[in-house]
Amino acid sequence: MTNYSALRDNLPCNKPEEVVYIPQVPPQKNLKPQHTMLRSTPSMECNTDPKTEDQYWLRLYSTQRQWHPGVVSQLSSQDGVKGHEGRVALIKFQNDAKPSVEVFTNLEKLRRHFTDPVSPHAPTCSRMFVLEGLPRNFIHLLGSRLKVPPSFFAEHWVKPGEFVGSLLNHTPRYYNNHSRFTLAFPKLHWAQIKQKPGERKDPTYLAESSIYTELNYITLFGECKDPLWSFENMSFWRAGKDADERWDGKLDSFFVTYLNSLYLHLLALLLVDPPLLRVDPPLKNYIIKAKSRGNVPEYREVEPKDPNLLDTARDDITQDGSWYPPFPEDIATETPKMESMFADIVSLYPFRQCQSDSNPIKSLDAIDICRQLVLSAWTARLRIMEAEVVRKQFYFSTRVDPSDFNPDTWLDKSWTRAWTERDFGGLVRAKNTLEATEMRLFYTIDALKRSGDSHAGKEWEADAWHSLQIALQTLKTRVNLMLEAYTQSVSVRESKQVGFLTSLAALFVPISLIAAVFSMGGNYAADQPKFYVFWAISLPIMVLACLYLFRDSMLSLLRKRFGTSVERRQGSEDRFYSKV
């Protein structure tokens, strides 16, 4: 028997209560699927008093503090408004009707939803709860009410998309992906950070919320530029028939009724991350500098960018045109704003197609709109990466000032200019980032079972994920080509330097020969009548040699000085010969 007396001080309530360990109960067998209506009645409701919620917190604390100490510490430190910062949406899937969505912003309102009696004439429905963030009070209520395993919340908090340990830092696959999985996806934020006068932006910031979120203000090649982006998680859990999945092992009357109707109905929980720009008045939009000195965090305010200030030359930094339509074209609906996953889910699900008894809803069917939103987010991020790679290719291949661009000569020095160590470092970082991004994309596709012999989902969706993999492979190939061009350009530059030194050494050969011939004395020696002959011969040779060695620089100066007239004359000659 486990002793929880040492953990009693960590309970969120002040009322001293005896903590009793609930032993594991083996799952009940011979549960036959019946056409039982899935609705809550007073006899079915499990206990939602503070004691039950406190027991769930004890269970989470004792089982997850060793494996996920960060999330336990974060939940323990939540107080005041932070414990209620999230929102909960209830999506009901009814037969022959479009899904209905109800949003709960208050904990007591959500608790009354579980405790208030339901009319016996209520229609049969499947339900999916959507929780924004990881507020402690909502976790206590939903976890104890829906029998959610505590590890589900802890694994959602794990830092998504980080480079160190990204090969192993992902959700394990010891469970059925149709019952529980986590999707990681990049998120673009159309926002700007207010800086102090004269302060430079940092490449990384931390969002102050219930979810650990690293905001990256850095491009693929290591430049601190727009856009501001981060990785987010979307975690899905469905109640199963195995009692070991639940936190306490009890089979109450509600779950017995639910297990008997598993083949017809769905009870699920979806976790999404909160948006960067929140709408709740008590919560201000501040982020923390990752390079804060000491233990005192430095806060910077975040505000949305003005859409009217969008630079048309850099319109590829937005997500416009990146999402896939969640509905057929003949259904008029608003497009997702891609700013808040929770808000998009609430606004889009009421337009979803109706469900029927002949086609009961399944795990992947319930999150079909969510899958398309994740697919759209990946598409938008890869479009940004592609634009950055194309710009870097043009920069490396030309490096021509637009005011000095000459279409006849701009390729003469293509890929031959001196590369800096910063260029090489940016290419190496881009290659490492693409490798890590490819691994995150693989985990997402693997969680959805889009690879292998799986046929879940629509065919076009599987093709879309496959096209993202091909696009990422193409970007890696382009970066590798630039790295190869870097090594080749180094060899070309070294050979040119050796040739220049050889020519420079040959320049002094005739001068040395002349000096040797005229140094024999006589009238050609220094301070003699014919000493001028030495200069008369050596100076013209020096001038000719300099003209030969520095001919490229002189031609460039001449083009800058007389380029306009020369091009005008050349154009007139071309027109003349075309008439002939």
Flag whether pLDDT at 224 surpasses 60.
yes
Average of per-residue pLDDT across 412-432: 79
Average of per-residue pLDDT across 43-47: 38
Report d(CA 575, CA 348) in Å as an integer.
61
Sign of CA dihedral 94, 99, 100, 104: positive
Q: How confident is the model at residue 571 (pLDDT cuts 50, 70, 90)?
A: very low
Q: How confident is the model at residue 518 (pLDDT cuts 50, 70, 90)?
A: low
CA triplet 316, 320, 323: central angle to 5 degrees? 120
Q: Quick one: tokens of 560?
A: 């800058």
As to burial, measured by CB atoms within 10 angstroms (0-12 exposed, 13-18 middle, 19+ buried), residue 524 is middle
The CA distances from residue 576 to 65, 307, 563, 569, 570, in Å, are 85, 51, 20, 10, 10
pLDDT of residue 239: 82
Q: What percent of the chain has pLDDT over 70?
A: 59
User: Taking all residues of the chain, what is their mean pLDDT, rounded to a whole number?
Assistant: 71
**Segment among 83-87, 93-97, 215-219, 436-440 with least mean pLDDT:** 83-87
Give 232's contacts (C-beta < 8 A, 6+ positions apart): 160, 184, 185, 186, 187, 213, 272, 273, 341, 377
Helix segments in 458-531, DSSP class H: 459-518
> Residue with structure tokens 């201000």?
284
Greater confidence (460 vs 17) lies with 460
Per residue in 369-381, pLDDT tens? Answer: 888 889 989 998 9
Contact 384, 314 (CB under 8 A): no
The CA distances from residue 31 to 17, 43, 245, 263, in Å, are 35, 20, 17, 11
Report d(CA 392, CA 230) in Å as an integer.
22
As to burial, measured by CB atoms within 10 angstroms (0-12 exposed, 13-18 middle, 19+ buried), residue 550 is exposed
Against a cut of 0.85, is the pTM above it?
Answer: no
Q: Any bridge partners for residue 269, and if so which?
A: 129, 237
Highest mean pLDDT range out of 134-148, 412-426, 483-497, 556-570? 134-148
Average of per-residue pLDDT across 118-145: 84
Q: How confident is the model at residue 163 (pLDDT cuts 50, 70, 90)?
A: very low
For residue 273, how far is the Cα from the chain centroid? Answer: 13
Q: In degrees rounded to 5, what are phi and psi of residue 164?
A: -75, 120
Report d(CA 441, CA 382) in Å as an integer.
11
Report d(CA 533, CA 146) in Å as an integer.
106
Q: How confident is the model at residue 178 (pLDDT cuts 50, 70, 90)?
A: low
Report d(CA 148, CA 145) in Å as an integer.
8
pLDDT of residue 446: 81
Ramachandran region of residue 15, left (φ > 0), alpha (ψ -120 to 50) or beta? beta
Sign of CA dihedral 40, 45, 50, 54: negative
Average of per-residue pLDDT across 132-154: 89
pLDDT of residue 82: 63
The CA distances from residue 477 to 434, 437, 439, 480, in Å, are 10, 14, 16, 5
Q: Quick one: tokens of 456?
A: 């879940």
pLDDT of residue 337: 74
Q: In degrees rounded to 5, what are phi and psi of residue 128?
A: -135, 120
Give 259's contacts (C-beta < 8 A, 6+ positions apart): 28, 31, 241, 251
pLDDT of residue 488: 79
pLDDT of residue 546: 78
What does DSSP say about strands 100-104 and 88-94: parallel, antiparallel, or unpaired? antiparallel
Average of per-residue pLDDT across 24-51: 39
pLDDT of residue 29: 40
Q: Any bridge partners for residue 100, and if so which?
A: 92
Nearest residue to 86 (alpha-carbon basis) of 270, 312, 355: 270
The CA distances from residue 564 to 409, 411, 465, 558, 575, in Å, are 14, 19, 51, 11, 17
Flag whether pLDDT at 126 surpasses 70.
yes
Flag whether pLDDT at 560 surpasses 80.
no
Flag whether pLDDT at 212 surpasses 50.
yes
